[in-house]
Amino acid sequence: MFENMIDLMFKNEYDVYVFDTAPTANARRLLGMSKVYALWVNKMMKSREEARTLREMLSFTKKKEADPLMDYLVSFRDRMENARVLLTDPKLTAFYFVTLPEALPIAVVTRFIQWFKDFGIPVGGVLVNMVIDPASVGPDAAGFVKNRVAMQQEHMQTIWREFGDGVRAIVPLFDTEVRGVPMLQRLCNAIFAADGAKPMPGDVAGRAHAVGAQA
């Protein structure tokens, strides 16, 4: 999969490439493959070079033979290095985390953000998904809904405290799943809200003003 990602990026056919990766732990391992590949290729090249030297010493002719495998390894090593440079360049790459206003997802994202920073992968920010707008919950709402809103409000305080300006968008809990162009447009409107993901006065959930409406 990592090689397929690299092939797509190096074709340079589009202005922007967006990869919806596997869960965070797998994504980190996936992006870390550039270093793993580099170590593997360097070992392979060293072994190949030793074999070539030994073969030339035992050969009656001093003619140097082409080595397609060595050529491939050199090319592969260069591609992996280019991939590493691309993935760690903050002007070209950013990794965005999606979390929910719940304890476990927040803890996971907090941990992995630091891991990605240690690895040198630029972190673009955090998107908070499935947030219930308190303004849409009336006094006659079911107790379950009110409890969920209260829980989310509490966790949103943690999100703002932990990530601050790194929160790029607050996405509401829609009344239907995101499928089809119209729902994708609603999702885009929420993510790219004009007011941005800033805490609203008196609203600990910090929802973006343009995201508040629930259909």
Higher pLDDT, 103 or 8: 103
pLDDT at 42: 80
For residue 155, the tally of other CB atoms under 10 A from its CB is 21
- What DSSP state is assigned to residue 176? S
pLDDT at 202: 37
Higher pLDDT, 99 or 81: 99
Percentage with pLDDT > 90 across the chain: 37
Contacts of 83 (CB under 8 A, 6+ apart): 2, 6, 9, 34
**For residue 25, what pLDDT band results from cuts at 50, 70 and 90?**
low
Q: What is the mean pLDDT of the chain?
A: 80
- pLDDT of 163 strictly over 90: yes
Domain end among 85, 101, 129: 85
**Within this chain, do residues 130 and 188 fall inside the same structural domain, yes or no?**
yes
Dist. CA 196–CA 182, nearest whole Å: 21
**Within this chain, do residues 37 and 135 fall inside the same structural domain, yes or no?**
no
**Within this chain, do residues 41 and 100 fall inside the same structural domain, yes or no?**
no
Structure tokens at 198: 């800033």
**Within this chain, do residues 97 and 155 fall inside the same structural domain, yes or no?**
yes
Higher pLDDT, 148 or 43: 148
**Alpha helix stretches (DSSP H) within the chain:** 2-11, 24-31, 33-58, 68-87, 103-119, 143-163, 181-191
pLDDT at 27: 62
CB-based contact 208:193 (threshold 8 Å)? yes
pLDDT at 215: 25
Dist. CA 135–CA 214, nearest whole Å: 9
- pLDDT of 31 strictly over 60: yes
pLDDT in tens, 48-92: 888 878 777 777 666 677 778 778 888 877 887 887 788 788 998
pTM to 2 decimal places: 0.70
Mean pLDDT over 21-42 rounds to 68
Give CA separation, 120 vs 31, 89, 114, 127, 131, in Å.
11, 9, 10, 20, 30
- What DSSP state is assigned to residue 66? P
CB-based contact 151:202 (threshold 8 Å)? no
- pLDDT of 199 strictly over 80: no
Domain housing 135: 90-211
Q: What is the count of structural domains for the chain?
A: 2
pLDDT at 208: 31
pLDDT at 24: 62
Q: Is residue 10 situated within a structural domain?
A: no
Higher pLDDT, 193 or 142: 142
Dist. CA 215–CA 207, nearest whole Å: 16
Dist. CA 213–CA 215, nearest whole Å: 6
Higher pLDDT, 52 or 100: 100
Q: What is the CATH number of the domain that holds 113?
A: 3.40.50.300
pLDDT at 210: 28
Structure tokens at 149: 């809103």
Domain end among 54, 85, 116: 85
